[in-house]
Amino acid sequence: MTIAADHETYDAVEHELGVLLRRARALSVGMMREVHQGLDPAAYGLLLGLYDRAPVRPSDLAAYFGVGKATISRQLRALEDLGLVERRADPCDGRAHLLALTSEGRRRMDAVRVARRERFFALLDTWPEEDVRTLATMLARFNRLAQENGTPARSRPAESDEGLT
């Protein structure tokens, strides 16, 4: 591949990822409102993280998102106030606690996951199954590479007061 073609290819990847991220963010806003009208984007990101990882220590969740403990604590308080997240004693360390979705939080996130899955089914319905598998494989490979290279799930400064998504 020539240098010019190489740049064109990487420019195309960057462009398409940008479009994908903007569309994903717009979709997330709609899904977030389905969970709770008072939810902000940062809190929705935390719920998604807890959905797949709970029970988890707050410090582990902060590390996953690449934010500081103060930022996580503020967001978690809001989610606890909404009745979507709860703290449980850590059976391995009585001084620590673990975070998990409440049954209501799990129920709402389950409903959102079903809606997201149905949206992806509709979007990819005309694709051959092998193409869908290839897309999933390539996205997983890209995400692993980003993680291995130290790219957190988000890239804002650790103690930012901004959201997590």
Q: Tens digit of pLDDT for each residue in 38-69?
A: 888 888 889 988 998 889 999 999 988 888 98
100: β partners: 86
- The residues, any chain, with a CB within 8 Å of residue 132's CB and separated by 6 or more, are 124
> Is the predicted pLDDT of residue 24 greater than 90, yes or no?
no
Half-sphere exposure of 140 (CA within 13 A, CB side): 6
Q: Is residue 154 part of a domain?
A: no
Is 60 exceeded by the pLDDT of residue 162?
no
Q: Which token pair is 35?
A: 């969970």
| Residue 162 belongs to a domain | no
Predicted local confidence at residue 47, as pLDDT: 92
Residue 129 is assigned to a structural domain of this protein: yes
User: What residues have CB less than 8 Å from 15, skipping those under 6 apart?
Assistant: none
Q: Which of 99, 87, 92 is nearest to 50 (CA)?
A: 99
pLDDT tens, position by position, 83-133: 999 999 888 888 889 999 999 999 999 999 999 899 999 999 999 999 999
Which pLDDT score, from 0 to 100, does residue 58 have? 92
Its domain, for residue 117, covers 3-148
